[in-house]
Amino acid sequence: MTPVRLLLVVLVTGPSPSSIGEATILALAAAHPAKFILVGRTPAKYAPVADAVKKVNAEIDVRVYGIDLSSIASVRDGASKIISENDWIDVLINNAGIMGGPLTKTKDGIEKGFATNHIGHFLLTNKLMALLLKSDEPRIINVSSLGHMSGTGDYSDYNFEKTAYSWHAAYGQSKLAHNPQANIHFTYALAKKLAPRGVTSLAVHPGTIYATNIFATLEPQEDAELRGFITATGSKLKSLEEGTATTIFAALDPNLREHNGAYLADCQVSETTGPGAKVPDAPENLWKLSETLVGETFAY
- Helix (H) or strand (E) run with residue 4 in it: none
**N- to C-terminal Cα distance for the chain?**
35
Residues 6 or more apart whose CB falls under 8 angstroms from that of 125 comprise 92, 94, 140, 190
Burial grade of 76 (CB within 10 A; 0-12, 13-18, 19 or more): middle
Residues 6 or more apart whose CB falls under 8 angstroms from that of 4 comprise 31, 252, 253, 254
Residues 6 or more apart whose CB falls under 8 angstroms from that of 150 comprise 168, 169, 171, 172, 180, 181, 274
- Helix (H) or strand (E) run with residue 151 in it: none
Give the pairing type, strands 9-13 and 91-94. Answer: parallel
Catalytic (active site) residue 171: no
Residue 176 gets which letter from DSSP?
B
Residue 300 contacts residue 174 (beta carbons within 8 Å): no
Catalytic residue among 65, 158, 165, 171: 165
Annotated catalytic residues are 165
